Amino acid sequence: MGLLSQGSPLSWEETQRHADHVRRHGILQFLHIYHAVKDRHKDVLKWGDEVEYMLVSFDHEKKKAQLVLSGEELLETLQEKGERTNPNHPTLWRPEYGSYMIEGTPGQPYGGTMSEFNTVEDNMRKRRKEATSLLGENQALCTITSFPSSSICCRLGCPGFTLPEFKPNPVEGGASKSLFFPDEAINKHPRFSTLTRNIRHRRGEKVVINVPIFKDKNTPAPFIETFPEDEEATKASKPDHIYMDAMGFGMGNCCLQVTFQACSISEARYLYDQLATICPIVMALSAASPFYRGYVSDIDCRWGVISASVDDRTREERGLEPLKNNHYRISKSRYDSIDSYLSECGEKYNDIDLTKDKEIYEQLLQEGLDHLLAQHAHLFIRDPLTLFEEKIHLDDANESDHFENIQSTNWQTMRFKPPPPNSDIGWRVEFRPMEVQLTDFENSAYVVFVVLLTRVILSYKLDFLIPLSKVDENMKVAQKRDAVLQELFYFRKDICKGGNAVVDGCGKAAGRAEPAAEEYALMTIDTIINGKEGVFPGLIPVLNSYLESMEVDVDTRCSILNYLKLIKKRASGELMTVAKWMREFIAKHPDYKQDSVITDQMNYSLLLKCNQIANESCECPELLGPAFRKVRYSGSKTDSSA
Ligand code: GLU
Ligand code: MG
């Protein structure tokens, strides 16, 4: 999650004193980049995925699974043996928020040819194998989005969910002051604890995360947790909700991301907008996080949890008190869905109130940016959260740390990424909403689906745009329990309307009228993904017809069809999402008392099973389809009925 500077982090007061400096120079740094590369064309399509992992240790005697706090050492060894020894090493490793986390990407980006789709899964397997080979006995690299149990008894002060065990330290001086999440579980690089501390300082109180509890037969009604001797928690926690109070409960979750290099800035802006509408749909399809702090929740996705876990807005900014010390009311956390479309086609669908810094906006207009790009600088209403003493005075023409400082702490569904200064990297966009899946097969399937979709969007000049406020409504709905089958989502009815003029200046060329309510309708995810006669063609059928028109070797085609089949079946309900499967696993567990509580033993059996599935030592037809291993490994990968 962003740039790691070496050096000494400044205190919150000092960082805040430099906030305007960082913003001003961040914008200047962006302008240097913009003027240098705005007309760059013909970059080739490249892309790459990011998978985040948790390190889990199994105690088979005590039947306990814990998070191993060795991410930093593991990362050091992986980098030493990998990229530092061989620049062409097939994997790259990066730190993540949790001390029990690491992040892996392919060593080189993938290119534009179809056969690359057939290498994604192999590369993910390599990553899993490489990192696993360095783990201790009874330890595993798990791709789970949120760790189910943070040992409920933690709040009584008994250490629990980490190895080694640490007590949370809710006193002055700690980074998060959490009642449940020990600071030792935060990555040791100073960036992460500083972020944690400064978010809390800026906000003026601890972060507050309240996730609705799943009401089972024996769940107390109302469900109320008490926090004697902790006034802040008593005030902040809501009845019928699971209360959490630390950045780690959000940023300590894992996800699956994809970054694309577009051939030009206008193509990047177009892809940014189009994919923004897809975020809630694919998030619901990838739902994998039903459990928090040892309880069964009523949501399936991590999104709102992370959003709240880094919400640094003050009470004034959140609208709870009249503005006095702050400049703006701000309607969203720094981690949330995007607030404005960037392409000209998006303009008329920009129906969310944007809070922007007028001076920066005017400055960018004067520098020749168009209105839509200039207002993207609304990201710069945020303060820098960390600043390193050695990195205050920079060469704006050749460095971009101040720009990146603000940019990389706006964690939105999509990220628009200018090239780094003096590099041959092009304009990129990042797709960020997906939850990580248990297996490399599933993760490859979601990645390939999204990348293929970008090909189809570009080749067929598709148009998915709807008013951005409707995309926001979709984001809310997408997180609900079993949203993939139970909820309806706004989606554009005629996706081929853009015609040829979509990429450059479509709005005028296509002479569109104001957005009409008839342009979109509420649909099920099944309809959006698989289509429905007379209603909507469906994304998979569109991808299939694209595939038919492409020259693809037999093996790659089989792999792609298998991936699309997984997506198709998850959308129709024939296969379960990870979240649903986990819920059923817990519901059927002999220890489960239908009271929404996940005990250490249940946590252990669930993670053990997840690990077996990931290592393909057991089948899981509900999740992956029947005879999954047979289809994939007996050489009969010929089932092409996707
Ligand atoms: N782990 C975060 C998530 O689940 C993303 C962090 C990052 O931006 O890399 O969304
Ligand atoms: Mg990451």
Q: Residues of the chain whose pLDDT is less than 50?
A: 154-156, 499-511, 630, 633-642
- Which of 215, 232, 209, 244 minimizes the C-alpha distance to 333? 209
Give yes or no for a contact between 279 and 429, defined as CB atoms under 8 angstroms apart: no
| Distance set, CA 121 to CA 117, 199, 348, 562, 581 (Å) | 8, 37, 39, 12, 22
> 52 CA to middle of ligand 1, Å?
8
> 64 CA to middle of ligand 1, Å?
26
411 lines ligand 1 (CB under 6 A): yes
| Cα torsion angle, 587, 590, 594, 599, sign | negative
Q: What tens digit of pLDDT does each residue of 424-458 get?
A: 999 999 999 999 999 999 999 999 999 999 999 99
User: Which ligand is closest in space to the CA of residue 430?
Assistant: 1
Predicted pLDDT of residue 421: 96
Q: Mutate which of 52, 286, 412 to test ligand 1's pocket (most atoms within 8 Å of Cβ)?
A: 52
Q: Mutate which of 254, 259, 334 to test ligand 1's pocket (most atoms within 8 Å of Cβ)?
A: 254
Predicted pLDDT of residue 504: 45
In the beta sheet, which residues pair with residue 163? 68
From atom 10 of ligand 1, which residue's Cα is the shortest distance away?
255
Please tell me the pTM assigned to this model: 0.95
Q: Residue 72 has what DSSP assignment?
A: H
CA 369 to chain CA mean position, Å: 29
| Distance set, CA 127 to CA 35, 139, 318, 440, 560 (Å) | 38, 16, 42, 10, 21
144 lines ligand 1 (CB under 6 A): no
From atom 1 of ligand 1, which residue's Cα is the shortest distance away?
254
303 lines ligand 1 (CB under 6 A): no
> 639 CA to middle of ligand 1, Å?
35
Locus of tokens 């892996």:
104
Question: Relative to the CA of 408, which ligand 1 atom is closest?
Answer: 8
Q: Counting beta carbons within 10 angstroms of the beta carbon of residue 594, is it exposed (0 to 12), middle (13 to 18) or buried (19 or more)?
A: exposed
1 lines ligand 1 (CB under 6 A): yes
- Per-residue burial over 475-488, b if 16 or more Cβ lie within 10 Å, else e, is bebbbbbbbbbebe
User: Which ligand is closest in space to the CA of residue 306?
Assistant: 1
Predicted pLDDT of residue 160: 85
